[in-house]
């Protein structure tokens, strides 16, 4: 299949967006599914858990990758990928050999080390910075609380500890700014099931402002970000992406935006809150629960979600999910987003322990409310249809599997583009079954 040509950002322009600072604006009309622009990663790092199944250089997923002859911990498609990645891999290669099991910098530290190295070797503007340069990134330094500043100092200490041979360090103040910029402008690269593959910096993509009613979606082809329209965009219209998971109600979304990006959203969805009632649906009982009971249950759900972030063991997470679903089910409908959150976590544990029937049961309960709560062409909905399709196929229910996989493809052809390798892989799954 012939690939669509990657457009230059000529149909787009950087401008000053009222109340938002700089932003990205369309200079011509874009149709749903049309590629606005693509942006190669300025810097990218593969997550440690995917080593051996994805190329450290281009992030391609394939079998039979060749390992680095020195550290034996980085894997590549071929010699070309290895040579291209060497300026970045050399930052870690000898240190990985020296530290052995004790080599454990965070992904943020690894990405920031690569940004430092790139700035040294490529002081000129790169192909990733046609509209916005890395040095122009917002750091929001004045908005960082003591906890965030302390975390950055911990990262700086780790950078000095694990990287020395091939890095030249600026002073501490400059490193604080750089880590704050990476924290605010970094991207998480995910696969077709939204599993974490790595982290990257895409400067031109970072120019886009946030809306909870986005008109574009960002997907990844290896270490290249692609931005496609999910609504018709007219000339002069601002291009908006979403920085966060849009499942949650207005208050939760804005808590997340303030914590990570230091602003409150004023999009139509946040002003009208029109989806909040459905997202927080209460059981239709003879005696309606009081407003206080509902508030207490929402508070309980948020506390449990926070507990998930600290939980280390899958068995413990599954127990929390089952207990929480019982407790919240007395007040909330199954379509309530806090119920869905618990079910999604429980489904993840079932997949991890290869309980396919259990995962399928949770997925079947999740998919319809997901389709209602999320925007059209949501990657979250596509990935859920994909998981369901693969589960049906594994459990030899081919008819249901084909139907679910085709639903996933219909969304992905708009979000990822019809020629994306993920779509080719899913179509091959359909042929093989």
HEC string for 212-271 = CCCCEEEEEECCEEEEEECCCECCCCECEECCCCCCCCHHHHHHHHHHHHCCCCCCHHHH
Q: Which of 344, 363, 382 is the last residue of a domain?
A: 363
**What CATH number does the domain containing 380 carry?**
1.25.40
345 and 410, same domain (yes or no): no
288 and 345, same domain (yes or no): yes
Question: Is residue 285 included in any domain, yes or no?
Answer: yes
**CA dihedral (372, 375, 376, 377) positive or negative:** negative
Range of the domain at 342: 281-363
337 and 286, same domain (yes or no): yes
180 in Cβ contact with 138 (< 8 Å): no
Q: Can you tell me the distance from the alpha carbon of 38 to that of 224, in angstroms, rounded to the nearest whole number?
A: 7
25 in Cβ contact with 16 (< 8 Å): no
358 and 381, same domain (yes or no): no
Average pLDDT, the chain: 94
Instruction: Name the pairing type of β-strands 209-210 and 240-241.
Output: parallel
Report how many domains make up the chain.
Answer: 2
Q: Which of 336, 363, 390 is the last residue of a domain?
A: 363
Question: Is residue 398 included in any domain, yes or no?
Answer: yes
Q: What are phi and psi of 212, to 5 degrees?
A: -80, -5
Q: Is 105 exposed, middle or buried (0-12, 13-18, 19+ CB in 10 A)?
A: buried
Summarised one tens digit per residue, pLDDT across range 79-94 is 999 999 999 999 999 9
pLDDT at 8 over 60: no
pLDDT at 7 over 90: no
pLDDT at 30 over 50: yes
**What CATH number does the domain containing 359 carry?**
1.25.40.10
pLDDT at 6 over 70: no
Summarised one tens digit per residue, pLDDT across range 63-122 is 999 999 999 999 999 999 999 999 999 999 999 999 999 999 999 999 999 999 999 999
285 and 359, same domain (yes or no): yes
Summarised one tens digit per residue, pLDDT across range 319-370 is 889 999 999 999 999 999 999 999 999 999 999 999 999 999 999 999 999 9
pLDDT at 301 over 80: yes
């Amino acid at each position: 299949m012939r690939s669509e040509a990657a457009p230059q950002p000529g149909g787009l322009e950087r401008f000053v967006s009222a109340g938002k600072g700089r932003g990205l604006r369309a200079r011509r009309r874009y149709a749903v599914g049309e590629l606005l622009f693509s942006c190669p990663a300025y810097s990218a790092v593969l997550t440690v858990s995917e080593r051996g199944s994805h190329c450290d250089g281009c992030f391609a997923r394939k079998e039979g990758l060749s390992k680095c002859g020195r550290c034996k911990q980085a894997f590549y498609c071929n010699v070309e990928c290895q040579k291209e990645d060497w300026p970045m891999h050399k930052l870690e290669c000898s240190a990985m050999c020296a530290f052995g099991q004790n080599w454990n910098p965070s992904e943020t530290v690894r990405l920031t080390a690569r940004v430092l190295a790139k700035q040294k070797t490529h002081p000129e503007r790169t192909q990733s910075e046609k509209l916005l340069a890395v040095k122009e990134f917002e750091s929001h330094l004045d908005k960082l609380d003591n906890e965030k500043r302390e975390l950055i100092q911990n990262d700086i200490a780790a950078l000095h500890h694990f990287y020395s041979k091939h890095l030249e360090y600026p002073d501490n103040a400059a490193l604080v700014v750089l880590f704050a910029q990476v924290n605010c402008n970094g991207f998480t690269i995910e696969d077709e099931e939204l599993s974490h593959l790595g982290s990257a910096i895409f400067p031109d993509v970072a120019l886009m402002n946030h809306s909870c009613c986005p008109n574009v979606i960002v997907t990844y082809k290896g270490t290249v970000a692609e931005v496609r329209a999910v609504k018709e965009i007219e000339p002069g219209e601002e291009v908006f992406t979403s920085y966060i998971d849009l499942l949650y109600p207005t208050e939760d979304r804005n808590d997340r935006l303030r914590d990570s990006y230091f602003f409150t959203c004023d999009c139509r969805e946040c002003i009208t809150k029109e989806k909040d009632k459905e997202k927080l649906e209460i059981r239709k009982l003879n005696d309606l629960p009081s407003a206080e009971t509902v508030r207490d249950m929402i508070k309980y759900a948020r506390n449990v979600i926070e507990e998930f972030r600290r939980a280390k063991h899958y068995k413990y997470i599954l127990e929390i999910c089952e207990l929480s679903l019982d407790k919240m089910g007395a007040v909330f409908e199954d379509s309530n987003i806090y119920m869905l959150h618990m079910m999604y976590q429980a489904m993840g544990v079932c997949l991890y322990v290869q309980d396919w029937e259990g995962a399928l049961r949770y997925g079947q309960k999740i998919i319809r409310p997901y389709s209602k709560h999320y925007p059209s062409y949501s990657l979250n909905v596509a990935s859920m249809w994909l998981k369901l399709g693969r589960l049906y196929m594994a459990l030899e229910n081919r008819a249901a599997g084909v139907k679910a996989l085709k639903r996933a493809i219909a969304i992905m052809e708009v979000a990822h583009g019809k020629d994306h390798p993920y779509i080719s892989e899913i179509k091959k799954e359909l042929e093989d079954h």
